[in-house]
A and B are shown apart, each in its own frame.
Chain A
Amino acid sequence: MIIAQQKPIKEVAAMVSDCKKVLLAGCQGCVTVCLSGGEKETEIMASALRIMRRLEGNPLETVTYTATRQCDPEYIVTMDDLVKDCDAVISLACGVGVQYMAERYKDKWVVPALDTNFIGGSTVHGVWEEKCGLCGDCVLHKTGGICPIIRCSKSILNGPCGGSQYGKCEISKDTDCAWALIYERMKALGKLDKLMEIQPPKDWSKSRDGGPRRATREDVMIG
């Protein structure tokens, strides 16, 4: 899922300082799961903003709504009536959701309440780690299901490098060396011979170097 974290409340308040009524739009997708932009977080932020503005003697009216997803136009339209008389929209979705909201409500000031951080998952409740580098050319079948692109600090394909010490990466004692993990996993699977194959330079044309990417599937298109 996409992992995002809330911006400091004062930063969000400053973005809507000239507004009298705002819609705080949450998302039931990834940001609900990573506890940054779901229904609960949306209502907490609304309450915090109302309190701040009351203390400034400039009350703020808030409307809250949490859409099924903010990365699909069909769920954005469910907010049409709510947005009408609001001066601004504070989106608690990832960067995708904010852009969909801005695209739909062209005459509204749409601002992000979250910083979108990475693609990952939780290790324990309250801790999330980056797991996928979105390179567009998955190599997990060659590396025992451990991604060297994002979990190796150098993204090398023929590791480990000289900075691997006792299973940790030289950048931090808290960071596992992905290649040490890959080695141990492949050893346990009895597939060390596969690591002896030299990997050629990666085809990065499927990654970000060609500008924004687009995925198309004709068979699921309607109309």
Chain B
Amino acid sequence: MRLQYSTNVRVVEMTCTGNIDHRVILNAFEEGADGVYVAGCMEGDCHFLKGNIRAKKRVNAVKQLLDEIGVGGDRLAMYNLSAAQGSRFAEIANEMTEKIKSLGPSPLNKSNNGCCGCSKEGDAK
């Protein structure tokens, strides 16, 4: 199965979404990402039982923090799909890309300080 999905999506592999840390998500935004989504297994299908449920709670907490600090919680999302759903993976990548494109660049990338404190405008990731 060779499926095309938006080239702007950069995959960061984690052992389990239950290992998702608030810092990883915040770091992505600081480093220039316009949006971040966490792709976990289907609810009820976690090999570690509750990893994806815990990830969902953490994602929600970070969404709230992003709202408070002015980045916007709608730039972060969590999706659930199984490893066998390749076409759904590509669909989500395109769906999220469209959503972020409609929101425009992250406020951090629009600021005068560029994508990472440098003077350049950040790339959409």
A binds B: yes
Interface residues of A (CB under 8 A from B): 8-10, 40, 43-44, 47-48, 50-52, 54-55, 57, 59
A59 touches B29 (CB 8 A): no
With A9-B69, A50-B30, A51-B30 as known contacts, state yes or no: A44 contacts B108, CB within 8 Å.
no
A222-B5 Cα distance, complex, nearest whole Å: 68
By a CB distance below 8 angstroms, the chain A residues around B113 are 54, 57, 59
CB distance from A48 to the nearest CB of B (A): 5
Is the C-beta of B98 less than 8 angstroms from some C-beta in chain A? no
Contact of B27 among A9, A40, A47 (CB under 8 A): A47
By a CB distance below 8 angstroms, the chain B residues around A43 are 23
A-B pairs, 10 with minimum CB distance: A47-B26, A52-B69, A55-B70, A44-B22, A48-B69, A51-B69, A54-B113, A43-B23, A55-B107, A9-B68
Contact of A51 among B21, B22, B71 (CB under 8 A): B71
A175-B6 Cα distance, complex, nearest whole Å: 53
By a CB distance below 8 angstroms, the chain B residues around A55 are 69-71, 107-108, 111
By a CB distance below 8 angstroms, the chain A residues around B87 are none
Question: Binding site of B, secondary structure by majority: helix, strand, loop or mixed?
Answer: helix
A9-B62 Cα distance, complex, nearest whole Å: 13
Interface residues of B (CB under 8 A from A): 21-23, 26-27, 29-30, 65, 68-71, 107-108, 111-113, 117
A137-B21 Cα distance, complex, nearest whole Å: 43
Q: List 5 A-B contacts (CB under 8 A).
A: A47-B30, A51-B26, A55-B69, A55-B70, A59-B113
By a CB distance below 8 angstroms, the chain A residues around B71 are 51, 55
A40 touches B23 (CB 8 A): yes
B23 touches A47 (CB 8 A): yes
A55-B72 Cα distance, complex, nearest whole Å: 12
A142-B62 Cα distance, complex, nearest whole Å: 46
With A48-B26, A51-B26 as known contacts, state yes or no: A8 contacts B68, CB within 8 Å.
yes
A59-B22 Cα distance, complex, nearest whole Å: 21
Contact of A52 among B21, B70, B112 (CB under 8 A): B70
